[in-house]
Amino acid sequence: MSQTMHIMRKDLRRLRWLLALGLAILVARTLLVVNSGAAVDSVATGLLMQQMWGTLAVVELLLMAVIGARLVHEEPLVGLTPFWLTRPYGVGNLLGAKLLLAAVFLLALPVIADLVMMSRFDAGPQALAGTAATAALGYGSWMLLLILLATLTPSLGAFVLTIVGVVAAASMLMATLLGVAEIRSAMRTEIPTYTPPGAPDATRSVVMIATYVCATLTVVVYQYRHRRWRVAAGLAVAGLAATVLAPMLWPWSFARGEQIPPGAWASTVVVRHDPSWGTQATDVFNVSRRTRETWRRLNAHIMVTGLPPQVTVQWVGIRSRLQFPDGTAVESSQSAGFADAFNARSAEAALGARILAAPEFFKTQRERWTPMLTITGQELVRRRGRSGRLEANIDVFGTEMRAVGTLRLTPGVSLAQRVAGLEIVSVQRGPDSRNVVVRRWRTTSPISLAPAPQQYFALRRRSSSEALMGGVENRWQVGGRPTVVMALLRIPFGFAGWGSGGFSVETMHLRFPGRGYEPSPLDPSWFDDAELVVLETRPAGFVSRRLTIDPFGVPAT
Amino acid sequence: MDTVIDVTDLTCRYQQVEAVTGISFTVAEGTVFALLGPNGAGKTTTIRALMNIIRPSSGEARVLGVDSRRLGRSELEAIGYVSENQQMPRWMTLADLLAYCRPFYPTWDDTLCRKLVDDFRLPLDQKIGRMSRGMRVKAALVSALAYRPLLLVLDEPFSGLDPVVRDDLIHGMLERAGEERWSVLISSHDLEEVERLVDAVAFLDSGRIVLSEPMTTLQGRFRQVEVTESGPGPALGLEESWIGATQTGRVLRFIDTAYSGPASDDRMAAKFSGARIEVQPMSLRQIFIALVRHRRGQGQESVQ
């Protein structure tokens, strides 16, 4: 242990300026978020802060890379001439010193900085724990990758070139895989099918993360013990392959969540066919290049009734069979969008109030054709003008809009959720409107089973049971990871999500009613007892219904 | 322990190239052993294998009684290693370097360390990266000697140094090693300097050992011979142990690699009757050059 501390003290001294710079950036970004409220009234300052955050995040990432590399290269593991090779170092002590120092500066301190930022927003223990875990995973993954690359290179220059090479190779690999997938898709002769989604499952993510951590640690430990960089590089490539393949081949699920129960609407929902629309044939975008054959969809007008008003059908999955009188039949399965996820009806139900002003798309519920069958162009020619009996199993996926919080229209009032929160920063009165600045923070996890909810804002006047939908005039964000950083993090890992998330704060300038919402003329006193209502849309589960259409006519043209 | 280094049939291969092929030699405790050879002979590779910097492809090298592949912390605490190519921590001052090295060695001797620094006239507050090459080697030596190692391994320590620095080093290091009865393995081109201090040598050429023996026997059996005939040139037909023969007019010069005193004198007198024969002892440098030229000119057999 004393040798570990001795090596650490030497490294601390050696890297003191870099580490000080890293700490300064951590402090700067923490202060930026903590003081982001100072810019709430100035869009320009807010956007400048957003830009500064992005710059700091990129600099922090690059600095982490340099610190990781310099730390390992103090005692390089590649080459025959380093001073330390012939000195009585304990390999365990050396590895321990490097990992300990890296863990403190590349993992623990950034996580603490994230938590300090959150503490400004009165985050609860669940949010703090979630953020700590998410941040530790993101920073830890990046730290391990840096340490691994540093153990395979003799110097900072070689390290940078290796990163460039790895990024280029990963990009080429991704492009190749995408190209192969594209070609396979283009060459396929069978029509794509629909499969009902299973319960949300984090097993693959967990397996991938565990494999990645094990693989990188194995390479690092091997290189410290044996100093054979070719073998270690081979192990690293094998580890990368294992990280990609293990989740695909993993045989059982241990982190599956529950299917979202649809609730009471499961027993009342009815799926009907509206024969007045008839049937319609449309092209499917995909074209098989091998067979030069188009796929066609046969559509009908389907109506779903019996839903509670706050629930809308966002999309449907259909497995169908069309039986012709001569005994022949065609089968297919497909999914399609059904209606917009939000509309005035569901919002009014969630608010318990009549909406006086809302965006145009909010007010109208568009009716659409629903694809009941997918067949080839040749099949359509063969069957055109004929009728048969269509039997379908339709999965109806609901989206529920609900009010998750009501806030008095007063600065400083806040709403705390599990891993998110919101506070009103300022309220400005206009003759026929209110401008409200809110700050919203949230933490997202790469292994979260639930997607982040969509939020909408309304002003509600309880006394008259009326409401106005708000529009977002401006918004900026500090925290989270900017696009460039996300792109850099995604390249080595090869998939979206990992390294994403973390803690972020978004400032929004809301106007009630939103511009162009064409409100009814309002008395200025309307706003006096108005309150801010936060609406969210969330998946509401799905139900299956059988539907028979007889006759179902194949269009003649 | 009688031997501090025992190398048996050691082979080191880089990719497809054999840098060292089946070499064997031993270094006795308390002796100074020189590994000599031209550039690319395999000296540095041999030393790297001994120090577990590279793994031998086959054969065995035991250092302080331990297989070099298993050379660990406890053995390295007793070995001092200095190489011309060693990457020193350039950002440290000499004082930093010595303070950093000190806790690694239970036998570190501060008094000896201070004395070495004084003897080498090294500035403690100067960064290693700003030191001259000679000062850097001296600094490395101080950090390798201050714990009184049982074995000192020096890979071309004098290469490229000016004569004054070289002299400093040799007096400061090898003579101290002699006084303290440290065992020393040194590879060097500075044969004249090494000659005064080494007890045994091994000549390496093209990855093979040409000869390995104590200095006394080596210098005893090598003689430079000059034969001057009074009449026409001497008849050729030299013995197998006479190498590097050249003839200029009536003068024949060669090197006797198996000189054994009066018996050899008598044999030469009989061979070149009537001629004037001068027999001169050879320096290590002359022996080295003669052997290398002979091997390059005559093939690559061992000269024993």
Q: Which two tokens stand for residue A176?
A: 């190749």
Closest chain B residue to the Cα of A89, Cα to Cα: B73
Is the confidence at residue A521, as pLDDT, over 90? no
CB of A39 closer than 8 Å to CB of A506: no
In a mutational test of the A interface, the residue from B69, B73, B84 whose CB has the highest number of chain A CBs within 10 Å is: B73
Residue A478 near residue A53 (C-beta atoms within 8 A): yes
| Sign of the CA dihedral with A96 first, then A97, A99, and A105 last | positive
Helix (H, G, I), strand (E, B) or coil at A5: helix
Residues of A within 8 A of B48 (CB-CB) are: 80
**How far is A128 from chain B, CA to nearest CA, in Å?**
41
Q: Could A85 and B53 be called an inter-chain contact, meaning their C-beta atoms sit closer than 8 Å?
A: yes
> In chain A, whose CA is at the least distance from the CA of B45?
A80
Cis peptide before A446 (omega within 30 of 0): no
Q: Cβ–Cβ of B76/A83 closer than 8 Å?
A: no
Distance from CA of A12 to the nearest CA of B (A): 13
In chain B, residues with a C-beta closer than 8 Å to the C-beta of A4 are none
The b-or-e profile of B47-81 (16+ CB within 10 A means b, else e) is bbbbbbbbebeebebbbbeeebeebeeebbbbbbb
Of residues B53, B76, B104, nearest to A80 (C-beta): B53
Phi first, then psi, for residue A339 (nearest 5°) are: -160, 170
Instruction: Closest CB to B73: pick one of A6, A81, A90.
Output: A90
B76/A10 touch (CB, cutoff 8 Å), yes or no: no
The alpha carbon of residue A226 is apart from the nearest alpha carbon of chain B, in Å, by: 10
Q: Do A88 and B105 touch (CB under 8 A)?
A: yes
pLDDT at residue A492 in the model:
46
DSSP state of B171: I
Q: What is the ipTM of this complex?
A: 0.86
- The predicted-structure confidence for A233-289, as pLDDT tens digits, reads as follows 999 999 989 988 998 899 988 888 888 888 788 889 999 999 999 999 988 765 555
Joined tokens for residue A47:
């956007």
B81/A86 CB distance under 8 A: yes
Residue A497 has pLDDT above 50, yes or no: no
**Whether A86 and B54 lie within 8 Å, measured CB to CB:** no
Helix (H, G, I), strand (E, B) or coil at A342: coil
Residues of A in contact with B101 (CB under 8 A): 87
Contact at CB, B76 and A87, closer than 8 angstroms: yes
- Residue of chain B nearest A79, judged by CA positions: B53
- The minimum CA-CA distance between A79 and chain B, rounded to whole Å, is 9
Query: Could you state, in chain order, the average pLDDT of each consecutive group of 10 residues for chain B (304 residues)?
Result: 90 88 93 89 94 94 95 94 91 96 95 91 94 90 92 86 76 70 84 82 90 89 88 65 84 89 87 87 87 71 44
Specify whether the CB–CB gap between A420 and A127 falls below 8 A: yes
**Alpha helix (H) residue ranges in A188-228:** 203-226
Q: Are A399 and A538 in contact (CB under 8 A)?
A: yes
Is A89 in contact with B73 (Cβ distance < 8 A)? yes
Q: Where is A337: in which H helix or E strand? A: strand A329-337
Report chain A residues touching chain B, CB-CB < 8 A. 2-3, 6, 10, 14, 74, 76, 79-83, 85-90
Q: Which of A2, A6, A86 sits opposite B76 (nearest CB)?
A: A86
Which residues on neighbouring strands pair with residue A436, listed in sequence order?
Answer: A427, A510
Helix (H) / strand (E) element for A322: namely strand A311-323
Q: Could you tell me the two tokens for A24?
A: 């300064």
* Chain B contact set for A81 (CB, 8 A): 83, 85-87
B interface residues, A as partner, C-beta within 8 Å: 48, 51, 53-54, 72-74, 76-77, 79, 81, 83, 85-89, 91, 100-101, 103-105, 153
Q: Under an 8 A CB cutoff, do A86 and B51 touch?
A: yes
A7 membership: H or E segment, kind and range: helix A2-14
Q: B288 vs chain A: nearest CA distance in angstroms? A: 28
The Cβ of residue A492 has, within 10 Å, a number of other Cβ atoms equal to 19
Q: pLDDT at position A489, please? A: 53
Residues in chain B within 8 Å Cβ distance of A85 = 51, 53
User: Alpha-carbon distance A121 to B208, whole Å?
Assistant: 74
B78 or A449, greater pLDDT: B78
Of A80, A85, A88, the CB nearest to B77: A88
8 Å CB contact of A79 and B87: yes
Nearest residue in chain B measured CA to CA from A81: B86
Rounded Cα distance, A354 and A356, in Å: 6
The DSSP line for A103-129 is IIIIIIHHHHHHHHHHHTTT--HHHHH
3-class SS of residue A196 = coil
CB contact under 8 A, B103 and A10: no
- Please name the helix (run of DSSP H) or strand (run of DSSP E) that holds residue A376, with its range, or none: strand A370-376
CA–chain centroid gap for A260, Å, is 19
Give the chain A residue whose CA is nearest to the CA of B51.
Answer: A86
Chain A environment of B86 (Cβ under 8 Å): 81, 83, 86
Q: Give the model's pLDDT for residue A488.
A: 53
Angle between helices A125-151 and A229-249 (to 10 degrees): 140
From A73, which residue of chain B is nearest by alpha-carbon distance?
B89
Q: What is the pLDDT of residue A325?
A: 94
Nearest CA to CA, how far is A7 from chain B (Å)?
Answer: 8
User: Residue B232 has what pLDDT?
Assistant: 61
User: Residue B85 and residue A88: Cβ atoms within 8 Å?
Assistant: no
Task: Please answer yes or no on whether A3 and B103 come within 8 Å at the CB atom.
Answer: yes
What pLDDT score does A357 carry? Answer: 80
For residue A37, give every residue at least 6 positions away whose Cβ sits within 8 Å of its Cβ, in sequence order, or none. Answer: A425, A439
Confidence of residue A494 (pLDDT cuts 50, 70, 90): very low
CA distance, residue B82 to nearest chain A CA (Å):
9
Task: Write the residue in B72, B81, B100 that is nearest to A10 by C-beta.
Answer: B100
Cβ separation of B73 and A81 shorter than 8 Å? Answer: no
Under a CB-based contact definition with an 8 Å cutoff, are residues B284 and B194 in contact? yes
Question: Alpha-carbon distance B225 to B230, whole Å?
Answer: 16
- What pLDDT, on the 0 to 100 scale, is given for residue B250? 84
Both structure tokens of A281 = 């044939």
> Would you state the torsion angle of the CA atoms of residues B99, B100, B106, B109, taken in this order, to the nearest 10 degrees?
-30
**Percent of chain A predicted with pLDDT > 70:** 90
Nearest residue on chain A to B81, alpha-carbon basis: A86
Task: Closest CB to B104: pick one of A76, A81, A87.
Answer: A87
- Distant-in-sequence contacts of A8-13, Cβ < 8 A, 24+ apart: A8/A97, A8/A100, A8/A101, A10/A74, A10/B100, A11/A71, A11/A74, A11/A97, A11/A98, A11/A101, A12/A101
Tally A–B CB contacts below 8 A.
Answer: 45
Tokens of A237: 């490539």
A7 interaction partners in chain B (CB closer than 8 Å)? none
- Residues 6 or more apart in contact with residue A342 via CB below 8 angstroms: A312, A362, A399, A401, A454, A456, A537
Average pLDDT of the residues of chain A: 86
DSSP strand pairing (A370-376 vs A293-300) = antiparallel
- What is the mean pLDDT of the segment spanning A441-459? 77
Most B CBs within 10 Å: which of A10, A86, A89, as the mutation test of the B interface? A86
Q: What is the pTM of this model?
A: 0.82
Q: Which residues contact A189 (CB under 8 A, 6 or more apart)?
A: A288, A290, A291, A293
| Residue in chain A nearest B48 by alpha carbon | A80
Place of tokens 């609901």: A398
Measured in angstroms, the CA of A107 and the nearest CA of chain B are apart by 27
Max avg pLDDT among A77-86, A130-139, A483-492: A77-86
Q: What whole-number distance in Å separates Cα of residue A476 and Cα of residue A41?
A: 12
Tell if the CB–CB gap between A88 and B101 is shorter than 8 Å. Answer: no
